[in-house]
Amino acid sequence: MKAMTWHGGAHFTLDDVPDPDPTPGFVVVKVDTTGICGTDVHITQGLFPQEPPKILGHEGSGTIVAVGEGVSSERIGQRVVMNHTSHCYECWTCQNWNVSRCEVADASTNGFYAEYVALDSRAALELPEDLDIETAALTEPASCCLSGVEMLDIPYRATGLVIGAGIMGLFTAAFLKSHGVETLVVSEPVTVRREMAKQFGADILHDPNDIPLSEVIADITDQGKGFDVTAEAVGKPELVATCINSTKPRGQTLMIGVCPEGSPLPVDLYDMHFREIKLVGAFGRGNVFHRVPTELTKLNLKNVISGRYPLTDLPEAITASAEGLGVKFAIKPND
């Protein structure tokens, strides 16, 4: 089969690699759609720790074409979304933290920038009938956002702020609204992304190149004290600081964006301490992946995928994502 191999930086090669075998308990999926994740962009920029050579890609959907021993043949032909980790449900982490950090099962099934993928059958989740297979590839990023939002304690009639309206910011906005935020501001400099935020429930759109965020805070928050909840969905330490500084006393800031390893927190820690701000880190899908395909059917996802690329054009798709040329870009490995 064909796969794109990452060799460091922005260098990829299209390679012939062995077809995956369905070992016991596994299935083989013909990949329909793989999303370009901000993490993929950060990997190519040296901002997220990974070692080449490696086949990247972890947001995928497709159709089961083969099954291993112990897996019902009735699964052949199922439309599925692929979770890129499997779980034992028995280790300390599965029982006390979340199943996405399982200590026992195979840690990761990356490699969705390929025509076919073999993975644990339990990690291939059958889709609801009313969810199309391309949209299903958004399950992974949506899971990260839902898991993060559910870590918050959202008060009645809450005000909220999301900085960044890439796909992570949009899903964070949608789940903040569905979990009780009454008035939500989304701040984003890229017009196409900012306008898309209305579709995901934003009440107020803020262009940081137009007016200072401080003016919005003064206009819509109680006595200008700040938002009940804020969320950073870009992955820049200075924007995490902006969120903290925009949060009211005893409010909460959620980190959805992944900052580069080793990043310092550029805030006045005394002020953060004095105002009793709660800072919540949210990394990964938590325990909610299985619930998200149904959640996706409740959202208006029209035109969220801005561009579709063949496997060979993966570098161009990553560049388009890095430059903010749309909302979400996808690879179609078998087109």
Residue-wise pLDDT for 263-297, tens only, equals: 999 999 999 999 999 999 999 899 999 999 999 99
Is 147 part of a structural domain of the chain?
Answer: no
Sequence-ordered list of residues with C-beta below 8 angstroms from that of 259, at least 6 positions apart, any chain: 235, 236, 237, 240
* DSSP-derived pairing of the beta strands 247-255 and 79-82: unpaired
pLDDT band per the 50, 70, 90 thresholds, residue 106: low
pLDDT band per the 50, 70, 90 thresholds, residue 237: very high
Which contiguous run of DSSP H or E holds residue 294?
helix 292-296
**Same domain, yes or no, for 238 and 291?**
no
Read off the pLDDT of each residue in 297-307 and give the average, rounded to a whole number. 96
Q: Give me 36's structure tokens.
A: 């370009």
Residue-level pLDDT at 205 = 98
Read off the pLDDT of each residue in 205-215 and give the average, rounded to a whole number. 96
Is 231 part of a structural domain of the chain?
Answer: yes
**Same domain, yes or no, for 229 and 304?**
no
Report the CATH number that the domain containing residue 206 is assigned in CATH.
Answer: 3.40.50.720
3-state secondary structure of 178: helix
The domain total for the chain is 2
**Same domain, yes or no, for 15 and 111?**
yes
97 by Cβ neighbours in 10 Å (0-12 / 13-18 / 19+) ranks as middle
pLDDT above 90 covers a percentage of the chain that reads 88
**Same domain, yes or no, for 6 and 130?**
yes
**Same domain, yes or no, for 124 and 167?**
no
Residue-level pLDDT at 274 = 98
**Alpha carbon distance 314, 10 (integer Å):** 10
**Same domain, yes or no, for 59 and 136?**
yes
pLDDT in tens, 155-201: 999 999 999 999 999 999 999 999 999 999 999 999 999 999 999 99
pLDDT in tens, 3-48: 999 999 999 999 999 999 999 999 999 999 999 998 899 999 998 8
Is 81 part of a structural domain of the chain?
Answer: yes
Is 21 part of a structural domain of the chain?
Answer: yes
Is 305 part of a structural domain of the chain?
Answer: yes
**Same domain, yes or no, for 119 and 53?**
yes
Is 134 part of a structural domain of the chain?
Answer: yes
**Same domain, yes or no, for 124 and 13?**
yes
pLDDT above 70 covers a percentage of the chain that reads 98
Contact present, 327 and 167 (Cβ < 8 Å): yes
**Same domain, yes or no, for 269 and 303?**
no
Report the CATH number that the domain containing residue 115 is assigned in CATH.
Answer: 3.90.180.10
Residue 107 has pLDDT above 70, yes or no: no
Which contiguous run of DSSP H or E holds residue 231?
strand 227-232
Residue-level pLDDT at 102 = 85
195 by Cβ neighbours in 10 Å (0-12 / 13-18 / 19+) ranks as middle
Is 105 part of a structural domain of the chain?
Answer: yes
Residue-level pLDDT at 110 = 66
Read off the pLDDT of each residue in 74-95 and give the average, rounded to a whole number. 91
Is 246 part of a structural domain of the chain?
Answer: yes
Residue-level pLDDT at 108 = 55
**Same domain, yes or no, for 133 and 93?**
yes
Helices (H) and strands (E) in the chain, counts: 11, 15
**Same domain, yes or no, for 50 and 130?**
yes
Greater confidence (50 vs 250) lies with 250
Q: Give me 184's structure tokens.
A: 């939500």
Of 242, 264, 281, the domain-final residue: 281
**Same domain, yes or no, for 192 and 226?**
yes
Domain of 203, in residue numbers: 152-281
